[in-house]
Amino acid sequence: MVRPFLIEEYRPQFHFTPEKNWMNDPNGLVYHDGIYHIFYQYNPNGTKWGYISWGHAISTDLVHWKHLPIALECDVDSNGNIMEMFFSGSVAVDVNNTSGFAIPIGRSQKGKEMFSQPMVAIYTSHYPTAHTTFNGQVIREGQQSQSIAFSNDNGLTWTKYNGNPVIPSPPPEYADQYNQFRDPFVFWHSTSSKWIMVATLALKQTLLIYSSDNLKDWTLASQFGPYNARFGEWECPSLFPLYVDGNSASEKWVMLIGINPGGVVAGSGTQSIIGSFDGKTFVADPSDVYDPTKVPADSTVFQDFESTSSTFEELGWTATGDFVSRGPRKASTVNAGKIKGYLGNGIMTTYLSGGTGTGTIASPKFTITEEYISFLVAGGYYPYNPVTAGTPEDHQVSMNLVVDGKVVHSQTGTNTENLVWRSWNVAGWVGKEAYLIVTDVNPGPSAHLHIDEIVFSNSPKDEANWNDFGPDYYAAATYNGLPNSERTVVGWMNNWAYANDIPTSTWRSAMSIPRTLALKTINNKVRLVQQPVSSVSTLYTAALCSHNFSVLQCGETEVNVPAPYNARMRLALKFARGTGTKFGVCLRSNAANTQETVIGYDFLGQNVFVDRFKSGNNSFVDSERNAFPGCFIATMATKPTDLIELNILLDWSSVEVFDGQGQIAITCQIFPLDDSAKVKLFSEGGSTKSVSVAINGIDSVWT
Ligand code: FRU
């Protein structure tokens, strides 16, 4: 039993959670007068999404929070009809009183009248019911409009502006998108002395950029999108400047965009695009835009599936089960033409009539000669699980790369019918013989995979800049009110694929650890990097243990971490490649090895991974659409001599993994049993060199 005292099962101890009830996106992040405010999407009436209001809490250090009363409460009429929900948005402090919302607060010593600095919340009014507002605006059922409210007591009480909504509808060319227009992010742009708003047309994967002098009257300035990850709803944008490598002479702008579904795993995900902003238009850097129709310049096409009149056997592939004597198909004829994103006409698919086909389709053997294998993939999320593969519990629908008889890379669908690029680093197997095998053992209607355009090259084919390669980082929002050289971001540590079902009670959902963002040049490319905010380290206990091994032998080495810190700790791992193939740590392991969360680095596949197949309770979602179990990878190419660094934050029901440079983050929820409390280092396939492990406990912020 690792629970230190009576706390609720799974309750995070150093991540923000509401005291009770449902929470989703962080909203209105603003730093003002030494206080960090967090508002958030909140249901005051239950543990599932609904009655959406804005909750509120404050902090002086981003780790200890004080809960405050609800800021903006869902409006319900006397018949119980919901009239207005308060969807996501932002808060700005109107220092110059451009809005006129300030109130007199007395006189200075010299007798000058002084005014408050109002906080202004800019949010989406979601109107489920058609009605006419008191100020005569005709509202349609389901309309989403942008509205404002102000507070002159530091966010404790709010007054809705009587001219709401301030942007009732999107521009005429998008008139039909009146119910998918939301999530305004507003900031003061000092160069143009204007307020800037970025809002989404969610279904169009388009951002609308507006400007204003007073937060009430808005003019459309430009549009942006769709780019990169673009199959799914675009939500919760954030736009902000940062200095490249800390150099104030070299400023770039970053657009953060939530996408759901269509995230890197399945369901919700967060991408960023770096570019420039002149007060009107955001222009993406060409190096940050990934054209999905182009393969890397040095590619060799292994199979493009254009031979739609051939069988797999005629193409030199082998098939079993329902796929014998079948072949590539015209994508437009598969699944009622729902498939998008293919190149040419043909694709490989395991979708037969009704999607019920099962069997395998395997490529001819080939020798790996280049460092990456890239391909387009779509379909249901049914990952390959090495533990259940080949057993009656095998549900996989995936394409696997097999070397020396072992699956070394695997990719399942992302729960959409839209083909997206994925790349595997195979540098570790150059010179080896390999084959690809698509395995679909699952007859369910959404359990099918589509594959197109398999290419070999020495550079990866990216779909997007993913801010986090885990499944549980969404709706990331950034703080207004910090200097231009600083940006702090907070994400919702959950995923719409299962958010309403996670096995917690009295509250549902936590926020990610707040993270400091920066722009850093890595391998000649400017990248958005992140690390936990420095104040998290104030929660660290004295070192619980530190271990150094010049050579860590193959196998498992248990590390003794005393309770309660075995459920909340920070691990700093440094290591270098030895004769082994993988190095890492198992957290929340039980004696029987039936539970563990495995985090590490794959020297051959060149990726950081988090495996939560056995992390604990992972069967709370319906079996047909269970997007929770999985192993999540982030490619990070290293040289054999590199000292690799991973920093891990473990809380009661989550892990967040960062590499030393901050280019990789993987965020995952886990729901282990209390008794799963062991910590084990492992080196697989041989030894790992220069291993150092430093572990600190993390104090609870609630005690
Ligand atoms: C993102 C989102 C937003 C919306 C809010 C509603 O998670 O769908 O687009 O404003 O949640 O709660």
**Cα of 207 from ligand 1 centre, angstroms:** 15
CB of 536 closer than 8 Å to CB of 513: yes
pLDDT at 3 over 70: no
Global pTM?
Answer: 0.97
Residues of the chain above pLDDT 70, percent:
98
- Residue 50 CB neighbours (<10 A): 15
Q: Average pLDDT, stretch 596-612?
A: 98
- pLDDT band with cut points at 50, 70 and 90 for residue 703: low
- Predicted confidence (pLDDT) per residue in 527-540, tens digit: 999 999 999 999 99
- Predicted confidence (pLDDT) per residue in 77-111, tens digit: 999 999 999 999 999 999 999 999 999 999 999 99
**Cα of 236 from ligand 1 centre, angstroms:** 7
pLDDT at 27 over 70: yes
- pLDDT band with cut points at 50, 70 and 90 for residue 702: confident
**Cα of 258 from ligand 1 centre, angstroms:** 10
Handedness of CA 31, 32, 36, 42 (dihedral sign): negative
The residue ranges of DSSP E strands in 308-448, in sequence order, are 318-319, 329-330, 346-349, 359-362, 366-367, 372-379, 397-403, 406-412, 416-425, 433-440
Given this chain, do its domains 300-457 and 536-698 carry the same CATH topology? yes
Distances (CA, A) of 320 to 327, 328, 366: 12, 15, 20
Give Cβ neighbours of residue 439 (< 8 Å, ≥ 6 apart).
360, 384, 396, 397, 398, 399, 400
Q: Which atom of ligand 1 is nearest to the CA of 183?
A: 10
Q: Average pLDDT, stretch 117-130?
A: 98
| Contact residues of ligand 1, CB 6 A cut-off | 24-25, 41, 52, 87-88, 124, 182-183, 235-236, 475
Give Cβ neighbours of residue 592 (< 8 Å, ≥ 6 apart).
none
For a mutational test of ligand 1's pocket, the pick from 127, 183, 200, 201, i.e. the residue with the most ligand atoms closer than 8 A to its C-beta, is 183
How confident is the model at residue 431, as a pLDDT?
Answer: 98
User: For residue 227, what are its two tokens?
Assistant: 């780019």
For a mutational test of ligand 1's pocket, the pick from 27, 41, 200, 498, i.e. the residue with the most ligand atoms closer than 8 A to its C-beta, is 41
Q: Which atom of ligand 1 is nearest to the CA of 235?
A: 9
The Cα–Cα gap between 258 and 473 comes to: 9
Q: Average pLDDT, stretch 49-62?
A: 98
- Predicted confidence (pLDDT) per residue in 178-188, tens digit: 999 999 999 99
Q: Which atom of ligand 1 is nearest to the CA of 258?
A: 1
pLDDT at 623 over 70: no
The Cα–Cα gap between 497 and 475 comes to: 14
Give the CA-trace dihedral at 416, 421, 427, 432, to 10 degrees. Answer: 70
- Span 300-457 CATH architecture: Sandwich (2.60)
- Residue bearing the CA closest to ligand 1, atom 6: 87
The Cα–Cα gap between 32 and 411 comes to: 45
CB of 119 closer than 8 Å to CB of 150: yes
How confident is the model at residue 485, as a pLDDT?
Answer: 82
pLDDT at 666 over 70: yes
**Cα of 182 from ligand 1 centre, angstroms:** 8
User: For residue 13, what are its two tokens?
Assistant: 């101890």
Q: Give the residue numbers marked as catalytic.
A: 25
**Cα of 248 from ligand 1 centre, angstroms:** 34
The Cα–Cα gap between 561 and 70 comes to: 39
Residue 134, SS3 per DSSP: coil
Lowest mean pLDDT among 499-508, 532-541, 613-622: 613-622
pLDDT at 598 over 70: yes
- Span 21-290+469-500 CATH architecture: 5 Propeller (2.115)
For a mutational test of ligand 1's pocket, the pick from 87, 201, 256, i.e. the residue with the most ligand atoms closer than 8 A to its C-beta, is 87
The Cα–Cα gap between 144 and 241 comes to: 28
- Span 536-698 CATH architecture: Sandwich (2.60)
Q: Which atom of ligand 1 is nearest to the CA of 124?
A: 10
> What is the residue extent of each domain of the chain?
21-290+469-500, 300-457, 536-698
- pLDDT band with cut points at 50, 70 and 90 for residue 625: low
> Minimal CA–CA distance to 147: which of 136, 155, 159, 156?
159
**Cα of 57 from ligand 1 centre, angstroms:** 19
**Cα of 377 from ligand 1 centre, angstroms:** 27
How confident is the model at residue 356, as a pLDDT?
Answer: 75
The Cα–Cα gap between 100 and 114 comes to: 13
Mean per-residue pLDDT of the chain: 96
- pLDDT band with cut points at 50, 70 and 90 for residue 624: low
The Cα–Cα gap between 679 and 676 comes to: 9
pLDDT at 1 over 60: no
> Minimal CA–CA distance to 648: which of 702, 595, 601?
601
The Cα–Cα gap between 305 and 680 comes to: 45
How confident is the model at residue 353, as a pLDDT?
Answer: 75
**Cα of 142 from ligand 1 centre, angstroms:** 14
- pLDDT band with cut points at 50, 70 and 90 for residue 442: confident
Residue 202 Ramachandran class (φ > 0 left, ψ -120 to 50 alpha, else beta): alpha
Q: Which atom of ligand 1 is nearest to the CA of 202?
A: 9
How confident is the model at residue 7, as a pLDDT?
Answer: 74
φ, ψ at 22 (rounded to 5°): -75, 140
For a mutational test of ligand 1's pocket, the pick from 40, 51, 88, i.e. the residue with the most ligand atoms closer than 8 A to its C-beta, is 88
Q: Which atom of ligand 1 is nearest to the CA of 89?
A: 10
φ, ψ at 413 (rounded to 5°): -75, 170
- pLDDT band with cut points at 50, 70 and 90 for residue 355: low
- Residue bearing the CA closest to ligand 1, atom 8: 235
Residue appearing with tokens 């886990």: 670
Q: Which atom of ligand 1 is nearest to the CA of 41?
A: 12
How confident is the model at residue 345, as a pLDDT?
Answer: 98
- pLDDT band with cut points at 50, 70 and 90 for residue 446: confident
For a mutational test of ligand 1's pocket, the pick from 21, 22, 23, 25, i.e. the residue with the most ligand atoms closer than 8 A to its C-beta, is 25
Residues of the chain above pLDDT 90, percent:
95
Residue appearing with tokens 């990456």: 372
**Cα of 235 from ligand 1 centre, angstroms:** 7
